[in-house]
Amino acid sequence: MERARVRRMPAWMGCVFAVALMLGVSGRAFAQEQSLPRAQPDAALENAAVLGRVWGTVKYVHPALAFRAVDWDAALVESLPGALAASTPEALATSVSDMLRRLEDPLTRVEREPGAPPSPREPSGPLSRWSGDVLVLDLDRRFSNFNALYPAMTALGPELERARRVVVDLRASGPEEAVWMELALGFLERSLPSDTVTAPAERFRVYSGFPVQLGPSSGGYSASVETRLARTFTPAPRTPKRSLVLLVNGRTPLSPLLLALLSSSRTRLVAQGALDESSAVKTRTVPLPGGQRAVVRASELVFPSGSSGLRADVTVPASADEGDTGPAFQAALRLLRAGTPKASARVSAKDAVLPTGGPDDAYEAMAYPSEPYRLLAVIRFWNVMRFFHPDPKALKDWDAVLPEFLGRARTVEDARAYTHLLYTLSARVSDGHVFIAEQGQPLRSLAEATAPLVLRSVEGRFLVSELPVPEAARAAGIGVGDEVVSIDGEAVTTRAARFRELLGASHDAARAERVASLLLAGADGKPVEVMLQGVDGRMKESRLPRSRDFLPFLRPPVQDDTPWKRLDSDVGYVDLRRLRADSVPGMFEAMKDTRALVFDLRGYPQGSAWALAPRLNTRGATASALIARPLVEAGEAREVRFPATLPSGDGPRYAGRVVVLIDARTLSQGEYTAMMIQAASGARLVGSATAGAVGDTTNVCLPGNVCVLFTGQRFETPDGRTVQGVGLRPDVEVHPTVRGLRAGRDEVLERALTLLREAGGR
């Protein structure tokens, strides 16, 4: 993996770095609209959820959205009233159809779920016959096996060699006949064409991860259109020039050969019933109530001219007579005798345009979006997660989440409530990278500023663990180990429960750390009133200033030119929260004669891993992680896996033992740093599980200019152990205790040193 493509930016700071860009987001102002119709609550919300699922499938699948200016947000907004008010499956289907009509694509439609296939019928005549000077091939039949098909097709050769006019009847009577028909056509690839012909190419949309909507990312995620190579068919030597008419119906397999033949001016097409491209392109279906479904085009044909689209020369009713006296066969004979048409008579012309795609509209003028746009926000976020979140287990009961939050979005009464709804929705994703910026400001309505204290969750209690501004804490009578009882008159347990609903995390311990980091947050400039129980058991009230400078995601790292020391004569300690990459050579020089190094990763590192790993690689390791990235091709969601390469270097290797201290504060780049060190040196991990959010981030922006950061691709250890959602598991598990914190002990470090003493030697 290229160094530039591995996440080296904090989850917090990645969002903060984008603030300046966020302030310049463009959006369109919309008039506040009246509330949407209200039917029975549960039914209305389920209807809106169905519409939202169809909308999302089109949004990330249909090729038209890459080539045409389709306002797909507006299509949803305009169709929501009908869906919410629908009291029958038919009424809902009408609303879905109204939305799909915006695409102007007959293939993308609502239809009945297919019933049982028709009963097979025996062939009504021979495989080939002559009607005057016209050779008629009837391929609507079944064969007992492949060995029966081969001689039957081979026997057609002599007749095709002398035929100058040919009708190929491809009107399949059922799905099994269609399968045999496509196999049969494979044997005719050299004998049916009389000129070299090229099939249309197939193109479809591809997502490699979810492209960042705003700001930077190291993930390299992209959206593109893939065009498959077109296939060319060359006639066998001595094949005569001939005119062809293809008779098709809705079950005909439009194989590459048939589509290639249509590129010749010698070939005409007669359709019995509407011409249906579904056998030639990819489609996706979304079930609807009442035995109906939405069919969504997932790819389209691109003909050699650069045009896309397909149409018949003649179309007759599906119910018309299929015999020789029927309108389809008679039309075929007339076309053969009418002469050679121009190619443009068959292929519907469209201007060739470049595929485009850009950030979704964040509607920044809508501080409090009207109801349709609040529903759009929920639907957009829900679909992005279902298609692009790399960890399926992070989306617990995701189908049920959509109608629940559509209902909640309808009832929020102001901008703050709407924004907090989006916090709550995003927190339903078990992902420690989830982080929100409102109108360009991180956590604007939740954590505008905080106090100069660091709190930690220890044994289920919130204790002061660090004093970033010691003089302010001393003036307020606060010390390390004091337990927070209430904040601004609210019990800390109540406040913590409220924050837990609003903050995303991969697991409970990581959520507790995130809650602790923001418990004291409030309005900038407004002091916080804190009730604490001191180490001596006495209750005390303190008043502290709040400032944005104290926010954990804005607080700069402590500057330290030598963030390393010897704990005893032969064990070194390195604080990776402060070690910069340019200090790594000096650190190794100072520690070269130690028998062991302890790396402290209980916080966010400063990008030193890429310099550390080569100096620790005594195992000849080449991979630091396995990366699993979401890949969506023509609506089919899967993942592509590839290794992240461990960086190499020329400096001398450190041969001593290595221990890494970890806990739930080890997040993102911190976790990847631990993975790199462990892959290189076989380091032992001591502490507790890491945050479980490692992988380059991306984001989605929602109406009201609310942007949500989330994990864009999943990292695993080189041997395939899961990290996302569960964290790196320690080799030796140790948790701090209230007693230890109050006594000034670092119990995790103590256990690491004991481990090294027990190991002895180098």
Whether residue 252 sits in one domain with residue 174: yes
- Give yes or no for residue 727 having a pLDDT over 70: yes
Contact between 681 and 623 under an 8 Å Cβ cutoff? The reply is no
Closest by alpha carbon to 232, among 189, 176, 168, 270?
189
Whether residue 700 sits in one domain with residue 567: yes
Provide the domain count of the chain. Answer: 4
Whether residue 736 sits in one domain with residue 719: yes
Mean pLDDT of all residues in 579-605: 96
For the chain, the helix, strand and coil percentages under 3-state DSSP, each to the nearest 5: 30, 25, 45
Whether residue 340 sits in one domain with residue 379: no
Mean pLDDT of all residues in 215-237: 92
Rounded to whole angstroms, how far apart are CA atoms 640 and 389? 13
Residue at 265: amino acid letter: S
Tens of pLDDT, residues 76-100: 999 999 999 999 999 999 999 999 9
- Supply the pLDDT for residue 10: 38
- Of the chain, the percentage scoring pLDDT greater than 70 comes to 91
Question: In the structure encoding, which two tokens stand for residue 205, read together?
Answer: 């949309």
74 in a structural domain = yes
The CA distances from residue 560 to 412, 452, 682, in Å, are 48, 20, 28
End of a domain among 550, 579, 614?
550
603 in a structural domain = yes
Whether residue 275 sits in one domain with residue 288: yes
Tens of pLDDT, residues 435-447: 999 998 999 999 9
Mean pLDDT of all residues in 178-201: 94
- Predicted TM-score (pTM) of the model is 0.89
Residue 514 maps to which CATH number? 2.30.42.10
Closest by alpha carbon to 741, among 515, 463, 454?
463
351 in a structural domain = no
**Taking the CA atoms of the chain, what radius of gyration do you get in angstroms?**
33
Whether residue 514 sits in one domain with residue 575: no
Rounded to whole angstroms, how far apart are CA atoms 478 and 107? 69
- Supply the pLDDT for residue 311: 84
Contact between 15 and 442 under an 8 Å Cβ cutoff? The reply is yes
Say which DSSP state 87 is in: -
Rounded to whole angstroms, how far apart are CA atoms 250 and 143? 21
Whether residue 55 sits in one domain with residue 197: no
Rounded to whole angstroms, how far apart are CA atoms 415 and 208? 34
Whether residue 421 sits in one domain with residue 530: no
End of a domain among 345, 373, 400?
345
φ, ψ of residue 64 to 5 degrees: the values are -60, -30
Whether residue 541 sits in one domain with residue 512: yes
442 in a structural domain = no
- Give yes or no for residue 190 having a pLDDT over 80: yes
49 in a structural domain = yes
Lowest mean pLDDT among 27-36, 155-164, 324-333, 702-711: 27-36
Whether residue 632 sits in one domain with residue 605: yes
The CA distances from residue 442 to 359, 399, 418, 433, 537, in Å, are 19, 29, 16, 13, 37
- Give yes or no for residue 509 having a pLDDT over 80: yes
- Supply the pLDDT for residue 120: 61
119 in a structural domain = no
Contact between 163 and 157 under an 8 Å Cβ cutoff? The reply is no
Tens of pLDDT, residues 296-349: 999 999 876 655 567 899 999 999 999 999 999 999 999 998 876 554 434 444
- Supply the pLDDT for residue 561: 74
> 759 falls in which pLDDT band (50, 70, 90)?
confident
Q: What's the chain's length in residues? A: 762
CA atoms within 13 A on the CB side of 220: 9
Supply angle C-alpha 314, 315, 319, rounded to 5: 145
- Supply the pLDDT for residue 29: 33
Q: Which domain holds residue 632?
A: 1-28+361-432+561-762
Whether residue 373 sits in one domain with residue 248: no
390 in a structural domain = yes
Lowest mean pLDDT among 17-26, 353-362, 623-632, 639-648: 17-26
Whether residue 278 sits in one domain with residue 161: yes
Contact between 320 and 327 under an 8 Å Cβ cutoff? The reply is yes
Sheet holding 165-169, edge to edge: 128-131, 134-138, 165-169, 243-249, 267-272, 314-316
Q: Which residue in the block uniquely carries the two structure tokens 């709407």?
A: 418
What average pLDDT does the structure give for the chain? 90
Rounded to whole angstroms, how far apart are CA atoms 705 and 699? 12
Residue 397 maps to which CATH number? 3.90.226.10
Mean pLDDT of all residues in 8-19: 38
- Give yes or no for residue 230 having a pLDDT over 80: yes
218 in a structural domain = no
Rounded to whole angstroms, how far apart are CA atoms 180 and 177? 5
End of a domain among 345, 373, 393?
345
Rounded to whole angstroms, how far apart are CA atoms 155 and 133? 19
φ, ψ of residue 271 to 5 degrees: the values are -110, 130
Mean pLDDT of all residues in 128-157: 93
